[in-house]
Chain A
Amino acid sequence: MMAGVPLEELRAKALQEVEQAPGLEDLRRVEQEVLGRRSPLTLAHRSLGSLPLDERRDAGARINQVRSEIQEAIEGKRRALEEAERAARLEADRLDLTEVLATWGPGHLHLVTQTRDELEDVFVGMGFAVAEGPEVETDWYNFEALNYPPAHPARAAQDSFYLKVGEPEQVLLRTHTSPMQVRLLLTSELPIYAVMPGRCYRRETADARHRPAFHQIEALVVDRGITFADLAGTIEEFTEAYFGPGIASRLRPGSFPFTEPSGEYEVTCTICRGRGCRTCSGTGWIELGGCGMVDPAVFGNVGIDAEEWSGFAFGFGIDRLVQVRHGLSDMRVLQENDIRFLRQF
């Protein structure tokens, strides 16, 4: 071998230096030393010309083999060093995502609004329009057109706040959303498929389940050939759509001046799913609201032929639904506007 340095020794030394290079800079220097223009290997290659032809080929092949072996080692080492450096950079960049400073996020819709929106969406999905009206009504719209004659005993259950405007006891805060039925029947083109949410008022002493102001939603359908079976079926459809599977509905007789036959309807207790609990007083059912077929007297009051058209209505308290769903022991919390409560939902 030329220059007195055996090829094998060169190779071993070069590979060792490559392996031991601590950084990319060092590796570049090692590369220069072992493969550069002045490196023993390059020099050895240059000196090949001095060998006899038959030896030259073998020696050249060996040198090239060692060279490429070293080159591969350098490439491998370079990749390893680059990876290590990238890892070190990333490590230095590490962020604990749970140390992010607290900021106040978005606010919260009132529970009653959230529930009302969900209810509206269910009814919209069932093909209903959403109709709204004023909270101040006349006695005719709130009572008389709905077949509550003056001094009707059912009025006693809906004690009203009367306003000092117009004739005495003629203008009041609506006691239910039902005057909207009258407005729709007077002004809408038939058929009607509408749902009517809104705030109502009754002159009742506040307790855990009652507030002088509360929210109701009621549905009205008037079409040709509408039956009590349609009422029961629509309540069932709504119950399933809103509460989900496993929640059933049932009806029993009730009384409202503006519907006949009238009923009360109950749904499977959403807390215990029918097994019986404190919320449902162990019955497995929760009273939701009232329902019935539109009374012919109401059709008469608004000039609709009750032989041609029939209809049904059903409604319930939104606040009460919120109370049951969220386990509110006292309805009052809905009107206290305590931000610590509002923020929970």
Chain B
Amino acid sequence: MRVPLTWLLEFAPFPARPGDRPSVTALGQVMDDLGMVVEGIEVAGEGLGDVVVARVLEVGPIPGADRIRRVVVDRGAGEQVEVVCGAWNFGEGDLVPLAPVGAVLPGGFSISRRRMKGVTSNGMLCSGQELRLSDDAEGILVLGGQGVEPGTPLVEALGLDLDVVYDLAIETNRPDALCVAGVARDLAARLRLPFRLPEPPGAPVAGSLPASLEVVATDLCPRFLARVLDVGAVAPTPAWMARRLTLAGMRPIGPVVDTSNYVMLELGQPTHPYDLDRLEGQGLLVRRAEPGERLVTLDRVERVLGSHPRTGDPVDDCLICDAGGRPVGIGGIMGGRSSEIGPATRRVMLEAAWFAPMAVARTSRRLALRTEASVRFERGCDPSGIERALDRICQLLAGEGSGAGEVTGGSPGPTGTGAVVVPGLLEVGAVPPRPPVPLRTARVNAILGTALDDQQVVSYLAPLGFACTPVGPGLAEVEVPGWRPDVEREIDLIEEVARHHGYSKIPRTRPRSPRVGALSGYQRDRRKVRATLVGIGASEAWTSSLLGPLDHERAGLAGPVLEVENPMAREESVLRRSLLPGLLAAVVANTAHQDPEVALFEVGHVFAPRAGGVAPPGGAGAALRSEELVDEREVVALALARDGDDARQAVAAWRALAGTLRLAEPELVAASPPGLHPTRSARLVAGGVELGVVGEVDPSVLEGAGLGGRRVGWLELDLASLLASPRLPEEARPVSRFPSAEFDLAFVVDDAVPASAVEATLRQVAGDLLETVRLFDVYRGEGIAPGRRSLAYRLRLAALDRTLSAEDLGRLRAACVEAVEVAHGGQLRA
């Protein structure tokens, strides 16, 4: 909402003037404090405030100077000023702009007293360019106007009012502030200044109009008033109105439309003029749109109404038609092209209606058509303010001697452009009654933490138009004005009290939680998971949850995905099932930067449709939780793409995680999970539950991603399963006080025998004596038959009660050798 200051000043004597910067800023701070956030303050005609009109009295040479002259001007009231000037395009008697000493011109150029060739220059005569009024830098701007007295401010002489425009962000709960009068009312209430709305004289109501009005869809359009004006001899829009419209951000079009817009900006009531002679049957009919009905709106776009564009279901669109039933406008949003006002328009039928907010909002949203009118109607207009708006338009268009009565103020210039109001008013529907809202002072204080009394509460509400009637101690009944459709409940009134009391004046207190704050076990462990992955050198990524439709397939992943109904781009149209596509893309991007040290992990949500998830009908409320339709899980994934990285590093990372979390029985089960290397991957299982996968990314996936020939280690875990899997017991295991002993065993076993199985056998045989067992060498090649390899283990052993003897160790060693031979066909390697 763009609000010119001079317009605001029509309604209340605010202590701010366009030329007085501090006062302008201070008023803006009051707007901020009331929740009408100032996003910008623009000064129109800035830098011209100090410039006055002067009459040239004398022009003479300066000895020793051939490019500058001495000029004496009358700057008003007979005061003569001597200046030095380098321009030659004027002469004695001309009117010119003078920037006196101390003036600051547009762009911040300030005028000081200077001496040149022995002559004192007490100011500057200005060119059009210096004043930013034209591109002419050649000579002084010579003013042609007659009857302009020296000393007149230049802006006045040129009709350029200095003005300030506040650009305000208005919240959705403040429809009253979508007009200049509403902003002024709020400000005046806070500043305790008298506020005055324009009181246009009522145009004649009695009379039979040459037009008809019928409203069928009274639920979509509960109130509709219309007047007829003869605009055959209408004059152009007055300059003051055109300027205000421009400052407020609207383009002047023609007197009728401009006046309609002006009153909308002033009072908040949108209206729409139709060319009466282009309405079939000389009248209007308001009804629901039939499914598929079409209308070309003022913006030259054909709109389809009455049905949902995707489902084709019928929808409620309020259509304004002519008496013949032909659509001529979309109620509360935009008029149709066929009845547009033009130079040839003789008679105007003026609509001033109140449309149901929700209906306007739905239609506007579906058509993606937001207009000045639709924004106001969907937030809520004042159904009791329609007459005033109509009368105001009549006043501004018809002015004096038009039958609309005398102009009573509220406008800075002459009104009346020659239109004639045809006596008579068409009216359908009444202002809906609004019950008063009870307000308890105790409740105000209980919500705000204040100690206000009844009187203070009333003093904040009354200037806003709320009529408070005390009905008992601490209780009032509040009549809500029509311009506050947002206020329906006690809490809405409390907000108004808070706003006008001032948020900054509310005390600050600190409630105390009765519980100790803490992260959950899951949250603490998730931090450990992140810290462990950081510890092994990986950095955390944040990849998009939305992928392209082929991204999963490209990553070798299959399965149903959740699709976005209304994606912004095809490449962001499905929800990820896995972190693989995203992290792989991140690896590719980093590889493109020639970075050799890419190790990335991510903790994030993945999504899949829930198998068998049946959606109950809409309106299920709390009973239908998204979990029933969508399988959403938090996962952690790691992509290792540093030089030399492969599945081994991924397994090492998994072991680090399992160790940090003290998982009880993590197991690797060889497998070929989708997207992963078919012969270098495994599923991770603990306590019988699958936690995720580890290995390498499928070489063909890597090739497709442009990473052919590289290896990328991969680890992906379901966090909830991981963190819920069994942990080692909390009790500490005693450490032997006797020295440990160790021996190495190397076995030759078939490739098909997992090393983990050999290790398990060793653990079992060594039992309680085992401290650690570590696979320290794997060898294939000379001396070992093809299809077999040598696995070398180092066992550290100790007993709690004695130093293990050579015999103990010998027996144990023999038992290990025998067990591995029996269980796995492993032969001790000499």
A residues engaging B (CB < 8 A)? 104-110, 112-113, 117, 120, 123-130, 132, 134-141, 144-145, 149-154, 156-157, 161-171, 173, 182, 186, 191, 193, 199, 201, 203, 205, 212-213, 221, 223, 225-230, 232-234, 236-237, 250-255, 260-264, 293, 295-296, 302, 310, 334-340, 342-343
Bound together, the chains give a CA A253 to CA B510 distance in angstroms of 20
Residues of B within 8 A of A169 (CB): 565
B23 at interface by CB-CB < 8 Å = no
Residues of B within 8 A of A343 (CB): 539
Binds A, one of B149-157, B613-621, B723-731: B613-621
Bound together, the chains give a CA A262 to CA B173 distance in angstroms of 10
Bound together, the chains give a CA A261 to CA B494 distance in angstroms of 7
Q: A213 contacts B545, CB within 8 Å?
A: yes
Residues of A within 8 A of B94 (CB): none
Least CB distance, A228 to chain B, in whole angstroms: 5
Q: B605 contacts A199, CB within 8 Å?
A: yes
Q: B447 contacts A228, CB within 8 Å?
A: yes
Residues of A within 8 A of B511 (CB): 221, 223, 226, 230, 233-234
Bound together, the chains give a CA A236 to CA B504 distance in angstroms of 12
Residues of A within 8 A of B35 (CB): 252-255
Q: A164 contacts B540, CB within 8 Å?
A: no
Least CB distance, B630 to chain A, in whole angstroms: 5
Q: B503 contacts A232, CB within 8 Å?
A: yes
Bound together, the chains give a CA A153 to CA B607 distance in angstroms of 30
Least CB distance, A173 to chain B, in whole angstroms: 8
11 residue pairs bridging A and B, Cβ less than 8 Å apart: A107-B535, A151-B361, A162-B564, A165-B630, A171-B626, A213-B545, A223-B511, A251-B504, A252-B33, A260-B495, A337-B541
Least CB distance, A267 to chain B, in whole angstroms: 14
Bound together, the chains give a CA A57 to CA B79 distance in angstroms of 129
Residues of B within 8 A of A108 (CB): 534, 539-540
Q: A168 contacts B565, CB within 8 Å?
A: yes
Provided the pairs A201-B545, A236-B508 are in contact, do residues A337 and B626 lie with their beta carbons within 8 angstroms?
A: no
Q: Which of B509, B544, B575 contacts A229 (CB 8 A)?
A: B509
Q: A153 contacts B503, CB within 8 Å?
A: no
Q: B568 contacts A167, CB within 8 Å?
A: no
Q: A250 contacts B530, CB within 8 Å?
A: no
Q: Which of A109, A164, A237 contacts B530 (CB 8 A)?
A: A109
Residues of B within 8 A of A166 (CB): 615, 618, 624, 629
Nearest 10 interchain pairs by C-beta: A229-B449, A253-B35, A127-B513, A227-B449, A166-B615, A255-B171, A193-B513, A233-B508, A261-B495, A110-B540
Binds A, one of B69-77, B99-107, B264-272, B592-600: B592-600
Residues of B within 8 A of A225 (CB): 446
Interface size on B, residues (CB 8 A): 104
Least CB distance, B569 to chain A, in whole angstroms: 9
Q: Which of A125, A129, A144, A163 contacts B565 (CB 8 A)?
A: A163
Bound together, the chains give a CA A252 to CA B30 distance in angstroms of 10
Q: B503 contacts A253, CB within 8 Å?
A: yes
Mark interface residues in B344-379 (1 if CB within 8 Å of A CB, else 0).
Answer: 000000000000001001100100000000010011
Least CB distance, B639 to chain A, in whole angstroms: 10
Mark interface residues in B25-48 (1 if CB within 8 Å of A CB, else 0).
Answer: 000000011110100000000000
Q: B540 contacts A229, CB within 8 Å?
A: no
Nearest to A126 among chain B residues (CB) is: B517
Residues 355-407 (chain B) with a chain A CB within 8 angstroms: 358, 361-362, 365, 375, 378-379
Residues of A within 8 A of B642 (CB): 104
Interface centre among A107, A129, A162, A255 (most CB of B within 10 A): A107
Interface centre among B34, B447, B489, B545 (most CB of A within 10 A): B447
Residues of A within 8 A of B618 (CB): 139, 166-167, 170
Residues 512-540 (chain B) with a chain A CB within 8 angstroms: 512-520, 523, 527, 530, 533-540
B778 at interface by CB-CB < 8 Å = no
Residues of B within 8 A of A252 (CB): 32-33, 35, 37, 503
Q: Which of A129, A136, A302 contacts B517 (CB 8 A)?
A: A129
Nearest to A343 among chain B residues (CB) is: B539
Q: A106 contacts B535, CB within 8 Å?
A: yes
Least CB distance, A168 to chain B, in whole angstroms: 7
Interface centre among B310, B545, B593, B603 (most CB of A within 10 A): B545
